[in-house]
């Protein structure tokens, strides 16, 4: 087991690297020329200052919150369902959130607050459906049943999303809905960030504060009960925290896959299985990776690359590397 003093050093290193990535990200972009803006320009150029303050900063902070939410939600789901292969996208959460958002765009109106609430409600519904379907299945291990029911529920919501795309006005509503499917943070403003912040921050706080308790909730019901927990109630509280953060961030950023699956694995590799350390580590690594991916999305090409494409590409490669590495042990 990694010693506590070693873990503290690792956290300092991770924290400083994250801070470095955040600062450097401010100067990455395509203004005034591709890839890099000189820091001195902030003093000299009013447009550069406004660009950084009004567009880049809220976008970088949203990317940070997005990475923190997705990866900590992934870690929570993996531990609570005792399955290292789940992530919000596998359990109907992301597709459910996108469905809720699309539904809101199409019939209720695209006011951010309504869209967020609708996204959160459908994300929770996706998770509960996956869970109850898995409980009703008769064959296979719990891990397998959960994955299968998650795939089925995601596919249902995905079909619903397809129907809504078909019904949507091609000029006004369709581009907005398509955006959910690919994921991205273009057009992020302080206003949007402020709208989602309460859900995200409260959700992240619940997960962070209950992180040691999460270890207990990854054990069997009888052991968790014998240790004085109320397993059902405490698991629900953690799930609501993790899912509301994820759903709120999905409401502004669309479906961004793989971060929630891969980051908890990386965090466990470095910090061990104890959620006391893996949760903050997942938040920091997830935040950092998403900010880096978003930097690539907005700066690599003259046009924006959807963030979901970049995270899927890097996430899938990292996942393959983890799976074939002889040092990595997966136990399902």
Cβ density class 5-30: b for 16+ within 10 Å, e for less = eebeeeeeebeeebeebbeebbbbbb
Measured from the CB atom, the residue of 78 and 95 that comes closer to another protein is 78
Q: What is the largest CA-CA distance in the chain?
A: 67
Candidates 150, 268, 279, 285; binder of another protein (CB under 8 A) is 268
Nearest distance, CB of residue 209 and another protein, angstroms: 5
Cβ 76 vs Cβ 212: under 8 Å:
no
232 binds another protein (CB under 8 A): no
Measured from the CB atom, the residue of 59 and 235 that comes closer to another protein is 235
Take residue 52 and report the two structure tokens written for it.
């950084």
Take residue 329 and report the two structure tokens written for it.
């042990």
Nearest distance, CB of residue 254 and another protein, angstroms: 30
Cβ density class 140-164: b for 16+ within 10 Å, e for less = eeebebbbbbbeebbebbbebbeeb
CB atoms inside a 10 Å sphere around CB 184: 23
Candidates 173, 189, 197, 215; binder of another protein (CB under 8 A) is 215
Measured from the CB atom, the residue of 8 and 223 that comes closer to another protein is 223
| Those residues with Cβ within 8 angstroms of residue 114's Cβ, 6 or more apart along the chain or in another chain | 104, 108
How far is 11 from 7, CA to CA, in rounded Å?
6
Nearest distance, CB of residue 82 and another protein, angstroms: 4
Phi, psi dihedrals of residue 37, rounded to the nearest 5°: -115, 130
17 binds another protein (CB under 8 A): no
Query: Dihedral of CA 200/128/144/272: which sign?
Result: positive
304 binds another protein (CB under 8 A): no
Residues facing residue 233 across a β-bridge: none
User: How many residues line the site for another protein (CB under 8 A)?
Assistant: 31
Measured from the CB atom, the residue of 130 and 295 that comes closer to another protein is 130
Which whole-number Å values give the CA distances from 235 to 118, 130, 207, 212, 229, in the listed order?
Answer: 22, 15, 11, 13, 10
Take residue 138 and report the two structure tokens written for it.
């008769």
Candidates 25, 71, 83, 104; binder of another protein (CB under 8 A) is 83
210 binds another protein (CB under 8 A): yes
222 binds another protein (CB under 8 A): yes
Nearest distance, CB of residue 1 and another protein, angstroms: 3
Nearest distance, CB of residue 282 and another protein, angstroms: 13
Binding mask 99-128 for another protein (x = CB under 8 A): ------------------------------
Candidates 219, 270, 313, 318; binder of another protein (CB under 8 A) is 219
Under the rule (CB under 8 A), what is the footprint of another protein? 1, 79, 82-84, 209-210, 212-213, 215-216, 218-220, 222-223, 225-230, 234, 268, 272-274, 276, 329, 331-332
């Amino acid at each position: 087991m990694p010693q506590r003093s070693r873990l503290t050093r690792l956290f300092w290193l991770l924290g400083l690297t994250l801070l470095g990535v955040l600062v450097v990200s401010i100067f990455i972009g395509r203004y005034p020329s591709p890839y890099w803006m000189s820091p001195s320009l902030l003093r000299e150029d009013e447009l550069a200052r406004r660009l950084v303050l009004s567009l880049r900063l809220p976008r970088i902070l949203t990317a940070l919150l997005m990475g923190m939410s997705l990866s900590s939600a992934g870690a929570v789901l993996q531990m609570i369902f005792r399955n290292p292969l789940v992530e919000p996208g596998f359990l109907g959460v992301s597709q459910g959130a996108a469905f809720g958002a699309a539904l809101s765009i199409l019939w209720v109106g695209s006011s951010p607050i309504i869209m967020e609430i609708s996204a959160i409600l459908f994300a929770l519904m996706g998770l509960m459906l996956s869970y109850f379907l898995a409980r009703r299945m008769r064959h296979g291990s719990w891990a397998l049943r959960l994955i299968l029911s998650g795939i089925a529920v995601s596919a249902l919501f995905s079909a619903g999303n397809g129907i809504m795309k078909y019904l949507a006005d091609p000029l006004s509503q369709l581009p907005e809905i398509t955006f959910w499917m690919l994921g991205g943070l273009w057009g992020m403003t302080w206003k949007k960030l402020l709208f989602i912040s309460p859900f995200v921050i409260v959700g992240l706080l619940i997960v962070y504060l209950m992180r040691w308790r999460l270890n207990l909730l990854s054990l069997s019901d009888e052991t968790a009960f014998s240790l004085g927990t109320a397993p059902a109630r405490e698991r629900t509280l953690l799930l609501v925290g993790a899912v509301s953060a994820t759903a709120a961030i999905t409401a502004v950023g669309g479906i961004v896959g793989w971060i929630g699956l891969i980051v908890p694995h990386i965090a466990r590799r470095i910090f061990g299985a104890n959620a006391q350390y893996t949760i903050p580590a997942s938040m920091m690594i997830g935040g950092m990776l998403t900010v880096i991916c978003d930097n690539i999305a907005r700066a690599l090409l003259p046009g924006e690359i959807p963030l979901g494409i970049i995270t899927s590409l890097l996430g899938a490669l990292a996942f393959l590397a983890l799976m074939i590495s002889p040092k990595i042990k997966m136990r399902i």
